[in-house]
């Protein structure tokens, strides 16, 4: 059998690449050394869907994280992959206010949506169990988590249903 592409590694990235190559018309095969897909790094992944707030403005990592955030939520909704858009509070002590403001501005420059500066009372309203010394923070509404094994399964099923070989 001849293939246009061989993808080695059946984690999230390998399955996603295999599916995209297949969608572009390439005959592809996905090779995984383990009995099940996603057993290596993907099975140890926290499943966090990052917002892109931390990365340097105009960096490739920033652009891909921001775009990936949106695409991952869209994919999960369309394909019934469980996820939670939990949001995230990035908090700081009184002497870290400038550092948080700089991070917030970086997020805005990066085009990150759903960022809100928070004061102490707003933080404790959202999360009353945080240390009382916390004085300020940022709410990142579009941070979340996804069910990584379900994502791997969804990607690989689509790949196989479209004629891909695992």
pLDDT digits (tens, 9 = 90+) for 103-156: 999 999 988 999 999 998 999 899 888 877 888 999 999 999 999 999 999 999
Q: Is 142 a catalytic residue?
A: no
Higher per-residue confidence, 79 vs 162:
79
Active-site entry in 10, 37, 50, 62: 50
CB-facing half-sphere around the CA of 38: CA atoms within 13 A:
19
Cα 101 to Cα 117: distance, rounded to the nearest angstrom: 8
Q: Collect all residues with Cβ–Cβ distance below 8 Å to 73 and sequence separation of at least 6.
A: 49, 83, 85, 142, 144
Which stretches of 35-143 are assigned E, i.e. beta strand? 48-49, 83-84, 88-92, 115-119, 136-140
């Amino acid at each position: 059998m001849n293939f246009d592409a061989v993808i080695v590694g059946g984690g999230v990235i390998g399955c996603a690449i295999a599916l995209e190559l297949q969608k572009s018309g390439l005959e592809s095969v996905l090779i995984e050394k383990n009995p099940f897909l996603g057993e290596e790094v993907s099975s140890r992944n926290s499943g966090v869907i990052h917002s892109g707030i931390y990365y340097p403005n105009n960096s490739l990592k920033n652009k891909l994280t921001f775009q990936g955030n949106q695409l991952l939520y869209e994919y999960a909704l369309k394909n019934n992959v469980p996820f939670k858009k939990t949001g995230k509070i990035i908090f700081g002590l009184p002497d870290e206010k400038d550092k948080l403001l700089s991070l917030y501005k970086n997020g805005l420059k990066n085009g990150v949506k759903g960022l809100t500066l928070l004061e102490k009372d707003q933080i404790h309203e959202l999360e009353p169990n945080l240390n009382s010394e916390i004085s300020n923070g940022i709410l990142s509404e579009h941070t979340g988590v996804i069910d990584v094994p379900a994502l791997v399964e969804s990607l690989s099923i689509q790949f196989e249903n479209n004629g891909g070989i695992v």
